[in-house]
Amino acid sequence: MSQLEEGETERCLKNGESAPSSNVDVQSEAANVSASKSFFKQNLVEQKNAKRKSDMTLEEMYNGQHGFEDDEDDDSDWEPSALPDHHVVEVPKWFCLNCTMVNIGDDLHCDVCGEHRESGILKRGHLASPFYGAEGLTEDDAHAADGLQGPSLQSFPSDNATAIGFDERMLLHEEVVMKSHPHPERPDRIRAIAASLAAAGIFPGRCYPISAREITREELLMVHSVENIEAVELTSHVLSSYFTPDTYANQYSASAARLAAGLCFDLAAAICSGSAKNGFALVRPPGHHAGVRQAMGFCLHNNAAVAASAAQIAGAKKVLIIDWDVHHGNGTQEIFEKNKSVLYVSLHRHEGGKFYPGTGSAYEIGVMGAEGYCVNVPWSCGGVGDNDYVFAFQQVVLPIASEFDPDFTIISAGFDAARGDPLGCCDVTPTGYAQMTHMCSALSGGKLLVILEGGYNLRSISSSATAVIKVLLGESPRHDVEQVMPTKAGLRTVLEVLKIQLNYWPSLESRFLKLQSEWGWYALQEKKHKKKRGWAKVPTWWKWGPKRWLYRLWCKKLS
C-alpha cells in the first residue's frame, strides 16, 4: 500500500469512517480534489481581472494599459470570506445614511453622529428628527421634496428673487460598485438639501428655478483644455471608471458634470444681467479641484471657474471667488493664478501641506504679474470653528475684497468644514456660514452666486445650505460678530497672511500692526482658556532654565 493510502486509512479509522477500498479510489479522489482546486483558482483569477477592469483609471484607458494576466503567485485579491465556512459568524454591519460611517451590531443609532439607522433625512432634510426613523413621517412629510421633480416646475423671471439651479439628472452620477465604504460624494448630498428646502417652503416657494442645460464645448474651453473635456466625455462610454482612486465616473457622469457647469454658467449670467438678485447652484459633481487639464478630488469640471467666465462675458470686469470649502481649491487657483481680473481667496485646512490636496500655503499668491490676486488662509490644524472663520473674514477677506471692488462675487461653498463632517473634522455651524454669507452680500452690489462644493454629513450640509439660502432671501443671521475671539492658532494664521499680502494690498498694513501689538493680549486669553481645560502650570525654572527648549516644544504641541 502507498504512503498516501496508508495515511488516508489511518485518518479514516481515527474518525470512525470506512477506509478506502483501493489505491485506484484514492487516486480518483485526489484527481477530483485537484480539479476542484484548479477550477476554484481559475474562477478567482477571473474575478480579480473583472475587479481590475472596473477599477481602471482614465489614464489606463487612454494608454490601453489593460495588462490583465493570470498571475498565479499574486494573491493580493484573495478574499477568505468567499470560501463557504459554516463556522464563521458574521457580525451585523451597517453604514450610517447621514455620515456614511460603519456601525457594528444592531444598534438603532450611529455611534459617530447619532443619526437613526432608518433616518428620514432624505424626506425632510435636517428638519427630520435624528432620533426617529422615516416611518414616523406623515404622508405629506414623506413627499415634501416631490415638487422639485414635478413637470409643473417652470422658471419665471424676477429681478428681486433668488434663483436656484437644480436638475434631478445630476443624481445619476454615482459610484457603480461600492468598495469597502460608501463614497462620501453621493447623490444623497443634494437630495437632503433639496428635501430641507422643500420642507421649509423655500424651494419650491420663495425661490425660482432656472432651466437646466448642458454646457457647450466652446464654453468649457474658456477654462479647461481639450484633454480635460475629452477625458470626461470618454466616461459616458464606460460603465465604471476612475480618474484617480477617489474620483469615480459612470456612464451618466459626463452629462451630470455638463449640467452642473451649465447651471452655474446660466446663473452667473442671469445675476449679472439683473434677471435674478442672487443665486444658489445646488449642483454636483463639485468642481474646485478640477484644473485646466485634470479631474481630481471628486471634481470633473470647475463650476466656479465656468461661472466666473460667464460673469465676465456678461460684463463683469472683476470677479471675486471666495472658497470656504475645507479643502484648498487647487483647480480654481491654477486656472486663475495668472489672471488679475479674478481674485481668488481660499480658507482651508492645510497643516503644512499634509491635508488634501497639499496646496494652498499662504505663500501661494499668484504668478506672472498677478501676485496678490491669490489669497490663501491656511489653517494649521483641525477643529476650526465660527470665530476663526469670521475673524479671518473681518481681517483679511473683506478688506482685500473691498480694495479689489469686484463686479461679481462667487462663493465656492463647501460645507465640509461644518460640525460633524467626517472628512473636514472642523466646527463651523450653520450660523457661522450664514454670517459669512451676510458679510459677502454687501460686495459687488449684492450680485452673489453661491455654488455647492463639498460637504459629506447630510444633516450638517442641509442645515448649512438652508441657512445660507435664507440669507440670500434677505434674512439676517442671529449672531453677534462685534467681539470675535479667535484661537491662538487662528490668529497666527491671520497674521501670517496679512504679513505676506500687505505687500500687495496696502490697506492691510495698519491692521497687521494693530493685531501684532495685541498678540500678547490674545496669547494671555488663550493661556487662561487652556488652564480652564486642565493644563498644569509650568514652573518658572522650566520656562527659563537649561531645558527651556522642552517647554517651547510642549507649548508648540498645545497650540
Q: pLDDT tens digit string along 326-355?
A: 999 999 999 999 999 999 999 999 999 999
- CA-CA-CA-CA torsion sign (242, 248, 250, 254): negative
Indicate if 111 and 180 belong to the same structural domain: no
Domain housing 270 = 162-513
Number of structural domains the chain divides into: 2
Contact 273, 317 (CB under 8 A): no
288 and 166 in a common domain: yes
Residue 192 has pLDDT above 80, yes or no: yes
Residue range 417-460, pLDDT digits in tens: 999 999 999 999 999 999 999 999 999 999 999 999 999 999 99
Answer with the one of 513, 539, 554 that is the final residue of a domain.
513
The CA distance from 434 to 428, in Å, is 10
Kind and range of the H or E run holding 211? none
- Phi-psi sector, 340: left (phi>0), alpha (psi -120 to 50), beta: alpha
Q: Average pLDDT for residues 157-174, to the nearest whole number?
A: 89
**Predicted pLDDT at 206:** 94
Given pLDDT bands bounded at 50, 70 and 90, which one contains residue 86? Answer: low
Q: Is residue 2 part of a domain?
A: no
Is the same domain home to 117 and 211?
no
Is the predicted pLDDT of residue 365 greater than 80, yes or no?
Answer: yes
Residue 355, class by beta-carbon neighbours within 10 Å (0-12 exposed, 13-18 middle, 19+ buried)? buried
Owner of C-alpha cell 471692488:
405
For residue 51, pLDDT beyond 50: no
Catalytic residue among 126, 288, 289, 328: 289
Verify that 114 and 169 share a domain, yes or no: no
What does the alpha-carbon distance between residue 451 and residue 466 come to, in Å, rounded to a whole number? Answer: 13
Instruction: Report the percentage of the chain scoring pLDDT > 70.
Output: 72
- pLDDT tens digits, 199-232: 999 999 999 999 999 999 999 999 999 999 999 9
Same domain, 415 and 479: yes
Q: Where are the alpha helices (DSSP H) in 393-472?
A: 398-404, 430-440, 458-472
Tell whether 243 is covered by a domain: yes
350 is catalytic: no
Q: For residue 84, is it within any domain?
A: no
Give yes or no: residues 212 and 101 share one domain: no
What CATH number is attached to the domain comprising 386?
3.40.800.20
Is pLDDT of 153 > 70?
no
- Say if residue 226 is in the same domain as residue 109: no
Asked whether residue 269 is assigned to any structural domain, the reply reads yes
Q: Tell me, yes or no, whether 198 and 319 share the same domain.
A: yes
Q: When comparing pLDDT for 280 and 92, which is higher?
A: 280
DSSP state of 428: B
Residue 437 burial by CB count (10 A; 0-12/13-18/19+): exposed, middle or buried?
A: buried
- Provide CB contacts within 8 A for 33, sequence distance 6+: none
